[in-house]
Structure 1
Amino acid sequence: MSSSTSTVKQPEWRVPTNSAPASPLRILNSLTRTKTEVVPRQGKRLTWYNCGPTVYDASHLGHARTYLTVDILRRILTDYFQFDVLFVMNITDIDDKIILRSRQAHLLRTWRDKHAESGEVDSALQQAVEAYNSYVSGKLGGSAASALLSSIAADPKAFPALPFVPADPAAPVDPVDEGKWAMHVAAARKAYVAITTLSSSSAPAEERMGVLTEGAGDVIAPWLDTQLGSTVSHSKIFKAHAAFWERDFFQDMKALRVRPADIVTRVSEYIPEIVQFVEKIIERGYAYEADGSVYFDVAAFKASPRHDYAKLEPWAAGSANLLEEGEGSLGSKLRGKRAAADFALWKQSKDGEPSWTSPWGPGRPGWHIECSAMASEVLGETMDIHSGGIDLAFPHHDNELAQSEAYHECDQWVNYFIHPGHLHIEGQKMSKSLKNFITIKEALARHTARQLRLTFLLHPWESRLDFRESGMEEAKGVEGTLKKFFLNVRSTLSEIRAKEEAQESRADVHGYGDRERALVAELGKSQLAVHEALADSIDTPTALRHLLDLVSRVNIYMLEAARDTGVNGEVIGKVASYVTRMMQVRELGGGG
C-alpha cells in the first residue's frame, strides 16, 4: 500500500438510530399473573413441557382449545420469533379414570355377551332394574328416588321431570352440581326408556342385549363394577383401553393439524424413574410411607425457607373438593394421610387395579408425580416453559411444582407457566365427567380445522372462550376474506405475466408511483403492528385484525390501480407473500 493511500481514511460512520424498535416477546406467566419477558436459559433454546391427555375417552372441544392454543403459541415462538423449541408432551396412560372406565367397559361387554349367548335376557333385565334402582338412589336420592323407585312402568313417557334442587336453597347454585344432576337424570331417563322398551320386546336375545347395554350401560356398568370390579386383574384390559384412546387422540390432533411433539412420554414407560423420584423425595424429608402408599408432606415442604407451596393458586390450597379431585376417585379411598393437603406420590393398588413392584409394595404412581418424573428425566432439573389447561393449575400443576422442587431442592423448577383458558359450549363448561361435551370428530364434521383454528385465533388465548355455533360465522367470514384475497392476487399476477409475455419489451414506465409507495408504507406499518401484537403475549386477535386491514388496503389498491396506471405485481406479490407467511405461522395455509 502506498504512503499516499495509507493516509486517506474513510469518513466517520454512525450507528443508526432505530425509530421504531421491535419489542421483545412478553407472555402472560401464571407464576406472576403478569406479562413477563421470555428469557431463555441458553441462547435461543426453549425447553417446553406440555401436559398431554389422560386417555380414557374421546377428546372433546375443550381439549381442542388447549392443544390448538398451545400449538399456535409453539408455532409463533418457533416460526416467527425463531426460538429453538424442544417440545415434550406426556400421555397419561395410568390413572384412576382409566382404571374405572376400562374395568367397567370390560365388565359390561362380558355381561352383555354372556346373556346374549345364553338367551337369559329376562335375568339381565332384572339385574338392570336392580342397577337402575341403585343408581337413582345413590346419585339422585331423596324425593327423586321416591318418584322413580316405585316401579318400572310400561310407558316410557311416565318418567317424571326432576328439576335440580340444591342442598342449600339459600346458597348460590353451583353450576357443577347442577351439571352433575342433569347428567344423572339424563342417564336415568335413558336407562328407563331402554328397560321399559325391552320389557315388551320379542326381538332376538343379541339384539335385545344390545339395546339394553346401549341405553342403560351408564347405570349397569358402575353396578357391575361394585360387585365384580375386584375380579378384573389382567393388565391387558387397562393397557388396551388406554392404547385405543391414545390412537384416537393422535388421529384428532392430526385432523386439527397440530404439530407433533418432539418427544412423547408415557407413564407406563417411566415406572422405574417414577419410583426413584419418589424415593429421593422421601430421602429429602418431604414424603412419608403409610400402608403401602407414599404421600407428599405439604407441611414439611412449607416449613422449608427455600420452598413455597401452591405458587400458581395459593387461594385454592384449602379447597377440599379440588384436593379430593386431585387424588382421583380410587386414590381418595386410601388411608394413612397425616393431613388433608398431603397428596399421593405412590398409591397402594387394591384388587382390580393394575400394579407395579416398588419398595412400598405393589402399587401405581400418583397423578402429579408422573409429569414431574418424566419432565425431569427428559428436560433436566429445570425447564423454560410448562403448559396445560387452566383447570389443571391447582392441584395438579401446583403439586407438580412442589414435588419437583423438593426432588431437585430448587426454588424455581419452571420459569414460565402458560394456561390456555376454559372453553364453554353455549355458556356451559364442558366436561367428560358431566358428559356434556362435543367431541373433536363431531366438531370437525360441522366445521373445518381451519375454521376452528381461526375461532381460537380470534379470541385471547388466556381468556375463557364461549363456543357458539352462531359465533362460527365470524371465523367463516375471515376465512372467506382471505380466500378471496389470495384468489384475486393470483388472478391479477397471472394477468400481468400474460401481458408481459405478449410484449417483446417492457414499457418504459416503472409503475412505482404514489399509490404503490403508500401501499409499501402500509405494509411496513402492518408488519410492525403485527409484531407488537405478537410480542404482547401473543395477542392473535389484534395481529389478525392488522393483517385483515392490510388485506383490505391491497384489495382497494388493486381495484383503483386497475382503472388507470395498472397494478404493480411486485408490490402486491410482496404483500401477499408476507400475509401468506403469517398465515402459515398460524398453520392456516396461504395463497401459494
Structure 2
Amino acid sequence: MLLSTYRMRIRWHVPKIIFPSAFSQERLLHLKKHKEKWTWTMPQGHDTGIKVKNSYLSTRKLAPLIVKDPNYVTWYACGPTVYDHSHVGHGATYLQFDMIRRILTKYFGLNIAMVMGITNMDNKIINRALLYDKGFMEIADTYESTFMDDMKNLNILPPTSFLRVTDVIPHIVDFIQDIINKKQAYVTGNGNVYFDYNSAHQSIAKLMGEYFEPDISMKEKRFEKDVSLWKTARPGEPYWDAPWGKGRPGWHIECSVIASMCFGNNIDIHTGATDLRFPHHEYEVAQCDAYHRCQQWVNYFLHTGHVKVTGDVKMSKSLGNFVRIVDFLNDCQDPDILRLLCAHNKYTKNFKISDKLSEVEIFFASLTSLLKQCKDIGSGRIKAKVNTPRIEQAIQVFEKGIIKDFQDDFNISQAFTKLRKLMKQIETGFVVQDAPSDVVGVIKAIFVIENFLDNLGFTFHKRI
C-alpha cells in the first residue's frame, strides 16, 4: 500500500501589541495572576511503586504513580470521533494503553474503573452525512460499530462504561450554564457560547506551558483562544435546545462533562494520544477547574506517541494517509502482530511500522516455534533431556526483571528484551534425544511465557 508524503507548513505567530487602556486595572491584575505558573501537586494515597511520565511535568524526571484507592482507580480515556474507519494509529494508542491497564491490574493488583467518551456528533460527522446523503446518526452508528469490532479484533479490554455525547446533552447544557454563572464563559448575540480563556481562575498552561495574550480585534469572540462550548446550529444541521438557542456542544466540553459525570472533581489517570495535549486536554482541564473550582482535576496525564508514515508526518484520517485496522489485520500473519509492534516501542515515542515490522515478524516466528517445541517435549511427542535447574534460574531472573521494567514507566519493550534472553536460555536448556527425562523445566517455561503473554493481552500462543 502506498502512503502519500505531506509537507508540513509552519505558521509563525506574531503577538499583537495590547495597550493597557483596553482593559480595566482589575482585568490586568487577573491576567497577571492567570500567567502565574501552575505547579503539579503529588496526590496522597497508595504508592504503586511505578514511576511514570506525567505530561504535566516538562522535565524528563518520572513521577511516582500514586492513586487514591488501589481498589478503585479512576481512568478516563478519550474515545474516537466516529465519522470514518479507525486506523492503525488509533489502534496503536488503544493497544498501548490496554497493555498498561493490564499491567496495573495483573502485576500491581489495582482495580480500575475506566470510562471512554464517544464523540458521535461533530462537524466531521455532519460533513460526511451531507456528502453521502445519509442521516447524521446513521454515519455515527456505523463507524461506532466498526470501532467496536476493531477493538474486539485487537483483543482490547472494553472500558467499564462507554458514554456517547448525544446521550448526555442535558448534562452538557447544565455544565455550560454553571460555567456561565461563574463568569468563565459568555454567550454571544448569535447564541454561541465560548469559554473565556482569560477569566480562568488559574493558569490554563498546565500541559503545554503556553499562554496567549488577548486579541481585541476579534469580533464575536473576546479572544482568539476562547473555545466553543455551544455552537449555534446552521440550517440543515442537527441541534438540541438550550437556554442560549438551538445548537450542539463543542468538542472539548464533551469530555469534561462525561468524565465529571462519572468521576466527579478528581481523576487518577487520563489518557490519549499526544496530539490531544493541546488544545483538547488543556481546555478540558480548564473547563473542569472552572466547574469544580478545583486546582488539579486530573492527577496524571499519560500520552502516547504517533504512528508515523514518512518523516515526521503522522498517520491521520484528516490527512488521508492512513491504513485501516481491518486492512492491516487482513494483511498480517496474526492479529497479535500490531500488539507486538506496540510492545517493541516505548509508548510515549513515535514509531514507523515499516521500521520494525520485519524484526517483529521474525521474533513472532521464533517465539511461536519455541513454544511449539516446548509443548511437544512437555507432551512427550518429542523426547529431550531437560536441564531444569538452568531453565528455572533463567525464569527467576526474567520474572524479577520485568517487574522492574514495568515500574520504569511501563517499559514493555525492555521486558521483551528480557524475554528474548529467556528464550535463548530455554533453547540451550534441553537437548533432543531418544531417552526418557523429566520435563519440569519445559513445563514451567511454557507456563511463565504464556502467563506473560496472557497478562499483556496476547492470544496467538493459544492457537499453537
TM-score bracket for this pair, using the shorter chain length: 0.7 to 0.9
AA paired with 1:546? K
AA paired with 2:443? G
Of 76-85 and 367-376, the range deviating more from structure 2: 76-85
1:459–1:566 CA distance, 2 compared to 1 (3 A): farther
Distance in 1, matches of 2:401 and 2:390, equals 16
Distance in 1, matches of 2:388 and 2:381, equals 16
Tell me the TM-score normalized by structure 1. Answer: 0.66
5 Å-filtered alignment, 1:271-310, equals: 271-291=169-189, 292-301=191-200, 304=201, 307-310=202-205
5 Å-filtered alignment, 1:160-239, equals: 237-239=135-137
Tell me the TM-score normalized by structure 2. Answer: 0.83
How far residue 310 of structure 1 moved from its aligned partner, in angstroms, is 2.5
SS of alignment partner, residue 265 of structure 1: strand
Does residue 1:30 correspond to 2:55, yes or no? yes
Does residue 1:441 correspond to 2:311, yes or no? no
How far residue 471 of structure 1 moved from its aligned partner, in angstroms, is 2.9
Retained in 2: the 8 A contact 1:31–1:416? yes
Retained in 1: the 8 A contact 2:256–2:284? yes
The equivalent position to 1:523 in structure 2, one of 387, 390, 395, is 395
Distance in 1, matches of 2:197 and 2:48, equals 41
How far residue 79 of structure 1 moved from its aligned partner, in angstroms, is 2.1
How far residue 58 of structure 1 moved from its aligned partner, in angstroms, is 1.2
Residue of structure 1 in register with 2:115 after alignment: 88
Does residue 1:43 correspond to 2:70, yes or no? yes
Retained in 2: the 8 A contact 1:87–1:262? yes
Residue of structure 2 in register with 1:155 after alignment: none
How far residue 564 of structure 1 moved from its aligned partner, in angstroms, is 10
Structure 1: runs of 5+ lacking an equivalent = 1-21, 107-235, 321-333, 500-510
1:242–1:319 CA distance, 2 compared to 1 (3 A): farther
Does residue 1:533 correspond to 2:431, yes or no? no
Does residue 1:552 correspond to 2:410, yes or no? no
How far residue 558 of structure 1 moved from its aligned partner, in angstroms, is 1.1
Distance in 2, matches of 1:577 and 1:319, equals 60
Retained in 2: the 8 A contact 1:59–1:439? yes
Distance in 2, matches of 1:477 and 1:457, equals 15
Of 563-572 and 65-74, the range deviating more from structure 2: 563-572
SS of alignment partner, residue 346 of structure 1: strand
The equivalent position to 1:100 in structure 2, one of 103, 127, 131, is 127
The equivalent position to 1:569 in structure 2, one of 424, 439, 444, is 439
How far residue 590 of structure 1 moved from its aligned partner, in angstroms, is 6.3
Distance in 2, matches of 1:579 and 1:474, equals 20
SS of alignment partner, residue 80 of structure 2: coil
SS of alignment partner, residue 314 of structure 1: coil
Residue of structure 2 in register with 1:359 after alignment: 243
Residue of structure 1 in register with 2:166 after alignment: 268
AA paired with 2:347? W
Give the aligned length.
409
AA paired with 2:49? P
AA paired with 1:283? N
Retained in 1: the 8 A contact 2:83–2:140? yes
Of 428-437 and 450-459, the range deviating more from structure 2: 428-437
The equivalent position to 2:80 in structure 1, one of 33, 40, 53, is 53
The equivalent position to 1:454 in structure 2, one of 336, 340, 349, is 340
Distance in 1, matches of 2:459 and 2:149, equals 20
Residue of structure 1 in register with 2:357 after alignment: 472
Of 353-362 and 518-527, the range deviating more from structure 2: 518-527
Does residue 1:256 correspond to 2:154, yes or no? yes
Residue of structure 2 in register with 1:226 after alignment: none
1:553–1:497 CA distance, 2 compared to 1 (3 A): closer
Distance in 1, matches of 2:132 and 2:219, equals 27
1:478–1:337 CA distance, 2 compared to 1 (3 A): same
AA paired with 1:477? I
SS of alignment partner, residue 537 of structure 1: coil
Does residue 1:585 correspond to 2:430, yes or no? no
Distance in 1, matches of 2:298 and 2:156, equals 24
SS of alignment partner, residue 437 of structure 1: coil
Retained in 2: the 8 A contact 1:99–1:353? yes
SS of alignment partner, residue 39 of structure 1: strand
Distance in 1, matches of 2:135 and 2:307, equals 32
The equivalent position to 2:258 in structure 1, one of 370, 374, 379, is 374
Structure 2: runs of 5+ lacking an equivalent = 1-46
What is the CA deviation profile of residues 60-108 of structure 1, one whole-angstrom value per residue up to 9, with x for unaligned ones? 11111111111111111122222101111111011111111211221xx
AA paired with 1:274? I
Distance in 2, matches of 1:342 and 1:567, equals 74
1:557–1:277 CA distance, 2 compared to 1 (3 A): same
How far residue 543 of structure 1 moved from its aligned partner, in angstroms, is 0.2
AA paired with 2:269? I
How far residue 571 of structure 1 moved from its aligned partner, in angstroms, is 2.2
SS of alignment partner, residue 372 of structure 2: helix
AA paired with 1:61? V
Distance in 1, matches of 2:99 and 2:343, equals 8
Indicate the structure with greater strand content. Answer: 2
Residue of structure 2 in register with 1:493 after alignment: 378
Does residue 1:414 correspond to 2:298, yes or no? yes
1:335–1:241 CA distance, 2 compared to 1 (3 A): farther
Distance in 2, matches of 1:53 and 1:566, equals 56
AA paired with 1:280? D
The equivalent position to 2:307 in structure 1, one of 423, 435, 440, is 423
SS of alignment partner, residue 66 of structure 2: coil
Distance in 1, matches of 2:461 and 2:326, equals 27
Retained in 2: the 8 A contact 1:287–1:296? yes
How far residue 406 of structure 1 moved from its aligned partner, in angstroms, is 0.6
How far residue 242 of structure 1 moved from its aligned partner, in angstroms, is 0.7
AA paired with 1:314? G
Residue of structure 2 in register with 1:66 after alignment: 93
How far residue 572 of structure 1 moved from its aligned partner, in angstroms, is 2.2
Retained in 1: the 8 A contact 2:383–2:437? no
What is the CA deviation profile of residues 361-394 of structure 1, one whole-angstrom value per residue up to 9, with x for unaligned ones? 1111010000000111011211111001111110
AA paired with 1:263? S
Retained in 1: the 8 A contact 2:395–2:445? yes
How far residue 494 of structure 1 moved from its aligned partner, in angstroms, is 1.4
Distance in 1, matches of 2:70 and 2:106, equals 16
SS of alignment partner, residue 239 of structure 2: coil
Query: What percentage of aligned pairs have identical amino acids?
Result: 34
What is the CA deviation profile of residues 327-369 of structure 1, one whole-angstrom value per residue up to 9, with x for unaligned ones? xxxxxxx962111111111111111211100010111101000
Distance in 1, matches of 2:368 and 2:456, equals 15
Distance in 1, matches of 2:213 and 2:454, equals 43
Distance in 2, matches of 1:98 and 1:580, equals 42
Distance in 2, matches of 1:256 and 1:456, equals 12
AA paired with 2:439? G
